[in-house]
Amino acid sequence: MTEVMGVLNVTPDSFSDGGRFDALDAAIARGHELVAQGATIVDVGGESTRPGAEAVPPAEEQRRVLPVIRALVEAGASISIDTIHAETAEAAVAAGASIVNDVSGGLHDPRMVETVAASGAEFAIGHWRGIPDPAHRRSGYLDVVGEIREALARSAERAVAAGVDARRVILDPGLGFDKTAEQGWRLLARLRELGGPEARILVGISRKRMLGELLDALPEAARGTGGPMARDLATAVTSALAVRAGAWGVRVHDVPSTVQALAVAGAWAAAERAESSPDSAPAPSSVPVSALAPAPTPALRPGRSAAGTDPVPEPMPRFDGDLIRLSGLEVRAHHGVFDFERERGQRFVIDAEVSVDLGAAARSDELARTVHYGELAEAISAAVERDPVDLIETVAERAADVALSFDGVRAVRLTVHKPEAPIDLPFGDVSVTVVRAAAGSGSGSGSGSAGGSE
């Protein structure tokens, strides 16, 4: 599920909505409105980070935000506190906030990472080089994507070293913070490169200057009414594209337009997945990837002989020919035996190998004679996202069945990784692997396991 973080600025001077919600009643009402409109998180901020904004003492910041947080939490809202001050973060979490959203990534206040660690809150780590500089004097990068990826990694490592649970870290590339429009678009285009396969990326493009520059280049009649709120349509479109590119969540001022854009993108993606279902032949549109791998060692599958006594070996599907490999497919779903896993969901990572005969495709250079791996990825993702179950064994079986439904697939080896599994000891990963053969393929079906868990 995509997280939609609705912005609630309890400030008199924010760049787009300053003063609209600085009164307590207005702020609380706005928070309720954001939730009703579809925001899954309300991001409450009491200090503007716009260029030229005056610094706000933590005491005044808390006076603005804490009553709002308490009221919204009491009503059941999920709250993020947008602050660069450790003192405010600590008070906000005590008032019920579950996420600390620090645009400085813990760099402004040296106490921030220890404070977040002690609080147990989630930590949204932003990238910045200071309060935004409209002149871009700090926007020099040799490799903007690589440098920001490394900076975010350092900030995350610093937080984890201080005691923040790595599974509770969220990364924000900090669009608009000492980055030109061109640099911002490059970051969005390579969003998945900003973190590892388990990274949760938050994109805050809402009403940013880079959108304004884009719209200013359009014919006057196409720009809208002018002002920051005229950027809401562009915000919604960009947010939907960011989610399609792998964003975990988006931070927006105008929730309805983004929720609508996400609904359209979701319907489109669902139709694409339906087209790759067993009832529809996949329409190839990309080049296949093939490789060779040795046949695995046959394994015993739990079973009994005809006499009902000893376990009998069952042959594994053969993987000694052509393969198409898909690895690191990230899907957010709500599987698990615990209620909090069902409610909040978590990240699953899928690796799949399908055994196919790629000779005809290689000789003819016709995409229709191979498996369209883009459609395969969409179909597996849809299978994993489906109704919640307790076990990742069940998820793996479900996804393997979908892979086997593709024409030409003789066997599949599919692994479901659960890197955020609720294990109280330090661990790197937990996963389940199943190996299955298509009916009538001439090779049996079997299963192997790599550390099975719920």
Q: Would you name the residues annotated as active-site residues?
A: 208, 251
- Please enumerate in sequence order all residues whose Cβ is within 8 A of that of 418, keeping only pairs 6 or more positions apart, or say none: 346, 348, 392, 429, 430, 431, 453
Find all residues with CB under 8 Å of 308, minimum gap 6, and list them. none
Residue type, 230: A
Sheet with 291-292, strands from edge to edge, namely 291-292, 322-333, 346-356, 411-417, 431-437, 446-447
Report how far residue 38's alpha carbon sits from residue 35's, in angstroms, rounded to the nearest whole number: 5
DSSP H or E stretch at residue 241: helix 232-244
Please report the sign of the dihedral spanned by the C-alpha atoms of residue 131, residue 135, residue 138, residue 144.
positive
Bridge-partner residues for 100, per DSSP?
81, 123
Nearest to 127 by CA among 109, 153, 158, 99: 153
CA distances to 101, 215, 260, 385 from 264, in Å: 28, 22, 6, 18
Helices of type H across 250-323: 255-275
Asked whether 62 and 88 are in contact (CB, 8 A), the reply is: yes
Beta strands 411-417 and 79-82: pairing type? Answer: unpaired
Task: Name the token pair of 425.
Answer: 């000891």
